[in-house]
Structure 1
Amino acid sequence: MDGLNEVGEVSVSRLQMDEQSDDTSPPEHERPALCDRLHGSVHDKENSPTMRAVLCAQVCKVYRFLTEDQRWLLVREQLSETPLSFSLPKQLLRALIREHADRVQEVNGLGELSPHWDGLRHDVINHCSHLIGCYQDTLAELDRLSVSSCFKSSGSKSDRHLQFVPTNLHTQRMEVTDPDSSGVWYEVITFGAPADHHQAFRHGGLRRLLNKHTGHSDGGPCPSSSVSYSQDESSRARELLASVAQLQPLVFGLAEELLSVSQEPHAARLQQVLDALTRQTEQFVHALKDELVKSALLAIHGQFAAPCGGSHVHSNGLLCDNSPAGREGPPSLGQRDDVRRDAEYDEEAWDRAWANVAMSLNCIIAMADRLRGRADRPQGGTSGEQQEAAGDADARDAASPSSSSSPSWQEQLLPLVVTLRDCVREAVAKARAAMTFVVLRGAVAPTVDQGPAQVVQRRHAVFSQALSALVCGFMLKLYGGLEDPDFLQQLHSVGVLAQFESLLSTYGDEVGMLEDMEVGVADLSQVAFTVTEAKTEETDDLLPTLSGTWGSFVVEVPLTPETFALLPRELREGRPIRVHPVLFNIGINQQQSLAERFGDSSPQERVNHQSCERLRVYCRALGERRPDAAGVQSLSDLLTSLERSVDARKRKNVEVLWIAATVCRQVSGVRLTSCKSAKDRTAMSVTLEQCVLLRERHSLGQQHFSSALDCMRRDGCRMENVQKNVGSRKFAFSGVQLLTFPRLYRPPDGSYGSTH
């Protein structure tokens, strides 16, 4: 009974089948084939290393149903836990801890900042430090719990340390074997709706909380939340800051050395130092001629100078206000010049800054050429040819005293070197301001701008639950489609569809759960899968691994070498598989009846309309890139029916869920079903879907449909799931509640009642 230990042996001496006509009876030597194929699928494929890596603690039920032509269907129902329930959340927590620790290190390395920006840096550090502390505590607890379990029960939904773990996550699989075919598998991932029950829903779910945050304005100085930079841009900015910090002292050192050498004229040594200065200055200019610097300077002035009045770049790296709060009266003349200069800032301003560095270097080179030329010419005068070689430097020296009383080389080079250093300082100040802005904005955008730490933590936890379920479903879909070249081509050319079905009501706390789930499912669009070759067939080497940062996570799914070789070249080379998530919700319980009569069902309508459009976009892309793929031709009619059902003003219109599930299976997508805890309403949905598949794809007799449905609900794997969660073999419905349910979602008598 526990699925682990043998408890006995059953011998079947004879199986009496219903009488069949001679033309439908298989030959005597073929009669055992059905059992052989079932035995092979159970003991070979199901016990493969890849399946053992993703499934555990399996519970199985076997049924025998009659088809319309009076033949037998053998149906095997399997419910499994998965180690991914804890494995993925722990990997996500480690990734988030690393990301936030790196962000703290980045902003701490920016040095001195103006007061406004230093305050923002402290906000980033406090935000990140709070999350790091919470996530480290959670990770330590998950490491302890995952040693003995890979399952979070419905009663643990509100456990603080289990925020990131999906509730009651299972794979519901059905294998159908009939006389004409080998086993066909159907999968649905079932789990409690991804939501943060620990923080509860007093103020709504994620969608409402995020909308409240983005719509909030505290009247603070010059908001810049509209400007954000990617991780790559932040990395480039840090590299430029490092280059500037390295090259500026080199340029200044060589300029000082040039003055020192010029004290005692020595043309060869002067030229040697000048060549080194030229190389370093050209390298400095080349490093600064980056479009990121220019765009960041424009963003600084566009975001701050215009709305807040005058501002200018200081040597500490960022803008300071020319008109601080509390200062009264008109600006001074110098302040008016700053305001005018900022108002006239354009795209060429940065080009002029580094061009000034290059021109000041050219002046030094010209003066050095002139001084060396004067040293080489006779005492009596200057030839016309030498005057021409001196060029512009001679013109500059026209008003200087005669050669007999001319200043020293050092005195003539000093003002030019001072000009070079001033130009370098100005360029460095602007570049440092721009790159500091990029790094700080890159840190602010994914932290402070995302809302209070509690909201960000809620979003991470909801995403973790949805991600764990998605990865489990994708791995099963990939394993089942390894011998289907059309499916494998579809993965890298279009991506994989993930269709989430929700049975939450739009009344009370479940509105907040739906708002959490809506954001968590949408965030999965930032996830990509890649397929890699496993080092060994050990379980640890076949578990998926998570890498990347928030907004760009990649899940690597390892396959055994012989399996990996079956993949198309694109997937073997690491082509990412994009995720296209959609969410359809139809409330079916008594709370939804209240919402439809006295409350608000608009959240459900919004979610369904948006997902319907996203589903059409995915199917359109599939039709364009894989026009010959199986099932594509029938998608248009299905989508039209889905749109009509979504638009229909019909209460508890479960046809929306049925059609969406059909489209998902037609395009080989991942199916996921949820209610509050995936225990009761989810059981009704999953068993109904299984019987519909038997009827539509395997000719289950219509007169046997209801009995099959009742059988699965009364004696099937979902009843074992209820037992596992609450210790009772009863669905948590009352007779009065069930009167409000759609007819096909009502369990048989005797299978429901009080769970206490």
Structure 2
Amino acid sequence: MENTDHEDVTSSGHKDSLLCDSLHGSMHDKDNSPVMRAVFPSPVCKVYRFQTESSRWMLVREQMSDSPLSSSLPRQLLACYIQEDRRRIQELRELGDLSPHWEVLRSDVIAHYSQLITTYKETLIELNKLTGSSGCFKSSCSKSDRYLEFIPVNLHAQRMQVTCPRRTVWYDVVTFGAPSDHYQGFKHGGLQRILNKPEPDKKSSSAYCSVSYSADQSSRAREILGRVAQLQPLISELAEDLLKAALEVSAQRVQETLSSLARRTEQLVHALKDELVKSALFALHKARPAYLLSDEHAHVTQGNGTGHQHLSTNQDELQSSLGRQERLPHRLKYDEDEWDRVWANVAMSLNCIIAMVDRLQQRERRKQEVRSQNDDITPTEHLPSSWHEQLLPLVVTLRECVTEAVDRSRNAMTFVLLQEAAWQTSHSQAFTHRRDAVFSQTLCAVVCGFVLRLYSGLEDKLFLLQLCETGLIAQFEGLLSTYGDEVGMLEDMEVGVSDMSKVSFRITEAKSDQPSNLLPTVSGQRGGFCVEVPLPSETYLLLPGELRDGRGLRVHPLLFNIGINQQQSLAERFGDSSLQERINQRSCEMLKSYYMMLREKHPNMTLPSSQSTASVEDLLVSLDQTLEVRKRKNVEVLWLAASLCRRLNGIRLTSCKSAKDRTSMSVTLEQCTLLRDEHALSSEHFTRALDCMRREGSRMDNVEKNVCSRKYAFNSIQLKTFPKPYRPPEGTYGKVDT
């Protein structure tokens, strides 16, 4: 680390005496770890000395780095999308015969998925060609590049280390261009506008009008599909392990495996019992060509009145029940209780196995008691080989029941998603593509923020407890205007941020300390992605057990946006700012809900301290009041939201169109405000420090990295419309934006 006794250097030109040195390299302290080197390699560093109000000096290190995650995560996501869409096509084909109307919809959706697969494969091929630094950085000049849609624009980790006489503190912000699809453009608006379009006129088809599913139901259908797909192979594997344990004559292993099998099977039954599955099966039946009766109620039978409550665990009854079942697609009449019997048979077959193991164990114990009394042999844990013979038919039955239930539930949920896919296709052929690209850009930024926050809090037990129990706030700060194309960008960003609530994180043990093994990985499908964050073994083993047991960790995404440029002036005078107002109000309510949840679970938790006398409750009240004030370019909203995020251990992310100019003004302002409020930066030094960071700091390097010029893309007329704290010093601006 640099010598803290280094004297101020007075340089020629525009260089400020507050700038001590300029370094390109890694840290030489605990943050120079394998994880940080892998995720944020080769940072650009600037070092300053600022005077405090007590006339002491503090050393400030500003550090900016791009990340290989900008390209590695999009490549993984594209592979997941391709795999999911192939599976969706197969599931749609497995629905069997459908009436002409539904057949047309299915054909359209299959064609849509096929086109996505082709496009994504082409994009993946092009991304795989990128290597070195060019493979993990997308400049503002490349916003509209077709093959770079999934890569975030100008993503960087912006870090500030403050070294004072008594402590050293890190402040982190992830900066990136607002997640949006510049390649497709904004002629028809962004994702939020597309989602809110009225439904197209429906054809006069009784089949189509007879069913309609909400966005929540579609989301639940994806969850059920994912859950079922996860549990079926686990149950099959555990059933096989149970037979092996019986064959290997190990009583203890039989009991342990049976416990695991029972837990997973019960989870499957719980998922299958969802009313959405039952109603979707009926809707699917009505979409069959064999559904000929005009009166909808005429072909719904009342069942035999026995109901599944009379089902027992008797094996003979189970086999009889299975024998009576017929596959639904081939029947003209529909039995509403049929599905209840299907999922109940899964539970019955499990109970038969449990009952059989209990009987065999009791029989074995009685034999051992007799042998012990006769001093014949010492009781052992070994089982007779007949156990395998007794359990085999029951395990086969369980597998058959699970397969039957999974197949039907998969068909039902696929039918639900057919409605959603048909709606998306009718609204916009490129809707799914657009949402996937925006999601990818947003996810890259959130993962970077998560890694930064996790690593800075590894020694904070209260933070790790908060991470386990309530998750983390991810607070996005937007500087987009509500005028012109930036409205479409904000509409994209709102949906991209909201979709982060469907992402979970898991902390894993890295295979080695090689950089490739320390990069986060993503798996899953739309609506249910999981990001695994590997840590070196020595770090991972120090984590509390809750974080090592595979628990899913959530982020709570929030977006606060205040336009600050000349276009926002036009929007406020002649346009409409209701989109911004709605986004901010909704995020404020979500922030209050998160804090209430945190306090309910951990009423005595100590949150990060601040030199400010305002409590979190006071800040929330101030934010509420500030939002109610009809004030133009009310940037205090952003300041309060950022302060609340830090007080709640959250992740900070800042965006404008390309994270180059307005974002640089915001980041430098935030850094100097933190130095003033938390580290007693002298008031007379505040403006000098701010100008120094904007003139010679890492953000100017960011501008040069993007457009090969050390000039912010502002002109003097534009800057007159900016709030004063967001105006750069003279001589640092003049180029036209790209």
The reply to whether TM is greater than 0.5 is yes
Q: Secondary structure at the match of 1:222?
A: helix
Partner of 1:510: 486
Larger displacement relative to structure 2 (439-448 or 147-156): 439-448
Partner of 1:58: 43
**1:426-476 Cα distance to aligned partner (Å, 9 max, x none):** 797457996575043254256334443401110010010000000001101
The answer as to 2:216 corresponding to 1:225 is no
Larger displacement relative to structure 2 (226-235 or 531-540): 226-235
Contact kept, 8 Å, 1:318 with 1:437, in 2: the verdict is no
Contact kept, 8 Å, 1:50 with 1:559, in 2: the verdict is yes
Contact kept, 8 Å, 1:124 with 1:443, in 2: the verdict is no
Which residue identity does 1:616 align to in structure 2?
K
Distance 1:639 1:97 in 2: 43
- Judging changes above 3 Å, is the alpha-carbon distance between structure 1 residues 169 and 214 closer, same or farther for their aligned structure 2 residues? farther
**1:584-619 Cα distance to aligned partner (Å, 9 max, x none):** 000000100000001001110000000000111111
Counterparts of 1:616-627 in structure 2, within 5 Å, are: 616-627=592-603
Q: How many residues are aligned here?
A: 601
1:218 Cα offset (Å):
5.0
- Judging changes above 3 Å, is the alpha-carbon distance between structure 1 residues 238 and 47 closer, same or farther for their aligned structure 2 residues? closer
Distance 1:11 1:663 in 2: 32
Distance 2:635 2:296 in 1: 63
1:41 Cα offset (Å):
9.1
Q: Which of 444, 464, 467 matches 2:418?
A: 444
Counterparts of 1:434-583 in structure 2, within 5 Å, are: 437-444=411-418, 447-451=421-425, 452-583=428-559
Contact kept, 8 Å, 1:164 with 1:464, in 2: the verdict is yes
- Judging changes above 3 Å, is the alpha-carbon distance between structure 1 residues 421 and 48 closer, same or farther for their aligned structure 2 residues? closer
The answer as to 2:722 corresponding to 1:741 is yes
1:625 Cα offset (Å):
1.4
1:58 Cα offset (Å):
1.5
Contact kept, 8 Å, 1:728 with 1:755, in 2: the verdict is no
Q: Secondary structure at the match of 1:657?
A: helix
Partner of 2:298: 341
**1:516-565 Cα distance to aligned partner (Å, 9 max, x none):** 00000000000011100111001111110101111111100000011112
Partner of 1:143: 128
Distance 2:270 2:706 in 1: 63
Which residue identity does 2:30 align to in structure 1?
K
Which residue identity does 1:508 align to in structure 2?
G
Distance 1:539 1:117 in 2: 50
Partner of 2:12: none
Q: Which of 154, 158, 167 matches 2:153?
A: 167
Which residue identity does 1:225 align to in structure 2?
S
1:184 Cα offset (Å):
1.1
Q: Secondary structure at the match of 2:637?
A: helix
- Judging changes above 3 Å, is the alpha-carbon distance between structure 1 residues 100 and 570 closer, same or farther for their aligned structure 2 residues? same
State the identity %.
Answer: 53
Distance 1:295 1:735 in 2: 59
Which residue identity does 2:521 align to in structure 1?
T
TM-score by length of 1: 0.73
Distance 1:600 1:130 in 2: 37
Which residue identity does 1:318 align to in structure 2?
R
- Judging changes above 3 Å, is the alpha-carbon distance between structure 1 residues 193 and 447 closer, same or farther for their aligned structure 2 residues? same
Identify unmatched segments of 5+ residues in structure 2.
10-19, 234-267, 339-403, 609-613
**1:373-429 Cα distance to aligned partner (Å, 9 max, x none):** xxxxxxxxxxxxxxxxxxxxxxxxxxxxxxxxxxxxxxxxxxxxxxx9997477974
Q: Secondary structure at the match of 1:548?
A: strand
Partner of 1:260: none
The answer as to 2:675 corresponding to 1:694 is yes
Which residue identity does 1:122 align to in structure 2?
S
- Judging changes above 3 Å, is the alpha-carbon distance between structure 1 residues 109 and 660 closer, same or farther for their aligned structure 2 residues? same
Distance 2:562 2:629 in 1: 13
Contact kept, 8 Å, 2:424 with 2:432, in 1: the verdict is yes
Contact kept, 8 Å, 2:607 with 2:649, in 1: the verdict is no
The answer as to 2:91 corresponding to 1:121 is no
Partner of 2:164: 178
- Judging changes above 3 Å, is the alpha-carbon distance between structure 1 residues 240 and 460 closer, same or farther for their aligned structure 2 residues? closer
1:52 Cα offset (Å):
1.0
- Judging changes above 3 Å, is the alpha-carbon distance between structure 1 residues 108 and 300 closer, same or farther for their aligned structure 2 residues? closer
- Judging changes above 3 Å, is the alpha-carbon distance between structure 1 residues 593 and 231 closer, same or farther for their aligned structure 2 residues? closer
- Judging changes above 3 Å, is the alpha-carbon distance between structure 1 residues 349 and 154 closer, same or farther for their aligned structure 2 residues? farther
Contact kept, 8 Å, 2:486 with 2:657, in 1: the verdict is yes
Contact kept, 8 Å, 1:53 with 1:539, in 2: the verdict is yes
Distance 1:498 1:707 in 2: 31
1:112 Cα offset (Å):
3.4
Contact kept, 8 Å, 2:60 with 2:162, in 1: the verdict is yes
Distance 1:290 1:609 in 2: 35
Distance 2:138 2:524 in 1: 26
Which residue identity does 2:712 align to in structure 1?
F
**1:49-103 Cα distance to aligned partner (Å, 9 max, x none):** 1001111231111111100000001001011010011011111111111111111
Counterparts of 1:663-682 in structure 2, within 5 Å, are: 663-682=644-663
- Judging changes above 3 Å, is the alpha-carbon distance between structure 1 residues 574 and 14 closer, same or farther for their aligned structure 2 residues? closer
- Judging changes above 3 Å, is the alpha-carbon distance between structure 1 residues 544 and 235 closer, same or farther for their aligned structure 2 residues? closer
Contact kept, 8 Å, 2:25 with 2:43, in 1: the verdict is no
The answer as to 2:194 corresponding to 1:203 is no
Partner of 1:606: 582
1:629 Cα offset (Å):
2.4
Distance 2:480 2:33 in 1: 36
- Judging changes above 3 Å, is the alpha-carbon distance between structure 1 residues 218 and 87 closer, same or farther for their aligned structure 2 residues? farther
Q: Secondary structure at the match of 1:711?
A: helix
Distance 1:293 1:519 in 2: 27
- Judging changes above 3 Å, is the alpha-carbon distance between structure 1 residues 153 and 39 closer, same or farther for their aligned structure 2 residues? closer
Distance 1:664 1:288 in 2: 40
Q: Which structure is larger by alpha-carbon Rg, 1 or 2?
A: 1
Distance 1:453 1:445 in 2: 15
- Judging changes above 3 Å, is the alpha-carbon distance between structure 1 residues 240 and 692 closer, same or farther for their aligned structure 2 residues? closer
Distance 1:291 1:13 in 2: 64
Partner of 2:81: 96
Larger displacement relative to structure 2 (499-508 or 450-459): 450-459
- Judging changes above 3 Å, is the alpha-carbon distance between structure 1 residues 630 and 112 closer, same or farther for their aligned structure 2 residues? same
Partner of 2:637: 656
Contact kept, 8 Å, 1:635 with 1:663, in 2: the verdict is yes
Distance 1:177 1:534 in 2: 31
Distance 2:469 2:479 in 1: 32
Partner of 2:369: none
